[in-house]
């Protein structure tokens, strides 16, 4: 019988039971699930082990790699620039990053980049995977690259390049990198255990991943999918795991606790309020979550609805029944979501990865149990 730590009020007993069941069936190694309702943390549970050898408990201090759930942090940071009047979703990327206007990309807008529409899902031509560790070199390649499909005609998920695109837009406007801004503006002031790339001092808290034995099923393998996921250079490599942990990549190298993610998304579900302060205006929350494109994604094997960096729930419904719910999922199962209609937010992190690309069955069961309990 697995021991569940943390707290779960009686009304969420079914959620705790669903969490325990995933451990009892062997689907989990270590995991945490947190709910925030109207700004209050109403459930926070964790269990299992932080290492494959099962010698280190998964506890409230454990940091977990969240992969593409990091994109929700990038989306929020861009939204805060828009809220401050420093950026507009409708302006061209080239207006803040002139080099980006090459190769037929002069008219591409910030919101097209944020909703994966501009056609730069990955690099089709061979390159050294170690080049991903050179921020300026990757941004130069993206600026010079021609789109893989006509911009604005479809979305095509950008697993890695999204971080460089959003991050460079942010840097050109704000002057800081996203990882620094996250720490200075949100994580440290509000006590949120959130990082984009981590310093060596935090390595000892990071959960060890148990990776799946197979690749996800992409359903189709067009040029956009291959460039995004299926080449030997599609993701950073060749520098070792420590270098990857340090890499501040706003699309993929986030490290977080479920509590920190749920509290941040809880603000987006609650008119922007976090600990008595507004981190984003209600109007900008709605604008960031507003649908920019919906249809069959060219990279993911799903019909997707995209806001400005956020996945919208209405197409696939990985996060309960609400059509206004938005958030992001990460490779292997992590997710974070905000439901403004119910002022509810949640986050799930784990270190045993599945092959599900979206809507991992483990958090899906927890979220379904949550809504059944409300």
Q: Which residues are annotated as catalytic? A: 68
Tell me how far apart the alpha carbons of residues 319 and 314 are, in angstroms, rounded to a whole number.
Answer: 9
**Angle at the Cα of 50 from the Cα atoms of 255 and 269, rounded to 5 degrees:** 40
Tell me how far apart the alpha carbons of residues 352 and 28 are, in angstroms, rounded to a whole number.
Answer: 6
Tell me how far apart the alpha carbons of residues 56 and 53 are, in angstroms, rounded to a whole number.
Answer: 8
Give every CB contact of residue 105 below 8 A, 6+ residues apart in sequence: 93, 94, 118, 146, 147, 151
Structure tokens at 235: 């993701």
Q: Hey, how many other C-beta atoms are within 10 angstroms of the C-beta on 156?
A: 26
Give every CB contact of residue 101 below 8 A, 6+ residues apart in sequence: 92, 93, 94
Q: What is the largest CA-CA distance in the chain?
A: 59
Structure tokens at 48: 């299992």
Helix ranges (DSSP H) in 59-156? 70-83, 110-114, 135-144
């Amino acid at each position: 019988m697995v021991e569940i730590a943390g707290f779960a009020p009686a009304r969420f007993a079914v959620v705790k039971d669903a969490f325990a069941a995933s451990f009892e069936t062997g689907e989990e190694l270590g995991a945490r699930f947190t709910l925030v309702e109207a700004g209050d943390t109403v459930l926070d549970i964790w269990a299992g082990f932080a290492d494959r050898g099962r010698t280190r408990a998964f506890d409230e201090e454990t940091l977990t790699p969240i992969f593409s759930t990091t994109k929700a942090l990038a989306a929020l940071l861009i939204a805060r620039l828009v809220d401050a009047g420093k950026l507009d979703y409708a302006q061209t990327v080239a207006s803040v990053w002139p080099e980006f206007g090459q190769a037929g990309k002069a008219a591409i807008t910030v919101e097209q980049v944020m909703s994966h529409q501009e056609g730069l899902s990955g690099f089709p031509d061979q390159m050294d995977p170690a080049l991903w560790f050179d921020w300026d070199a990757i941004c130069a390649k993206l600026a010079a690259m021609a789109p893989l499909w006509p911009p604005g005609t479809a979305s095509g998920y950008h697993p890695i390049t999204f971080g460089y695109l959003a991050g460079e837009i942010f840097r050109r406007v704000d002057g800081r990198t996203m990882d620094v801004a996250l720490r200075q503006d949100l994580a440290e002031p509000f006590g949120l255990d959130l990082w984009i790339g981590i310093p060596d001092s935090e390595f000892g808290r990071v959960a060890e991943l148990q990776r799946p034995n197979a690749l996800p099923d992409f359903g189709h393998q067009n040029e956009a999918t291959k460039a995004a996921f299926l080449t030997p250079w599609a993701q950073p490599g060749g520098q070792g795991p420590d270098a990857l942990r340090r890499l501040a990549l706003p699309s993929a190298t986030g490290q977080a606790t479920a509590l920190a993610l749920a509290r941040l998304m809880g603000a987006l579900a609650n008119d922007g309020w976090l600990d008595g302060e507004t981190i984003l205006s209600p109007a900008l929350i709605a604008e960031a979550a507003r649908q920019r494109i919906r249809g069959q994604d060219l990279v993911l094997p799903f019909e997707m609805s995209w806001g400005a960096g956020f996945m919208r729930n209405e197409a696939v419904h990985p996060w309960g029944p609400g059509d206004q719910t938005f958030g992001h999922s990460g490779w292997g199962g992590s997710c974070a979501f905000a439901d403004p209609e119910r002022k509810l937010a949640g986050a799930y992190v784990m270190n045993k990865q599945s092959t599900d690309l979206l809507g991992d069955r483990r958090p899906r069961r927890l979220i379904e149990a949550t809504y059944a309990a409300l």
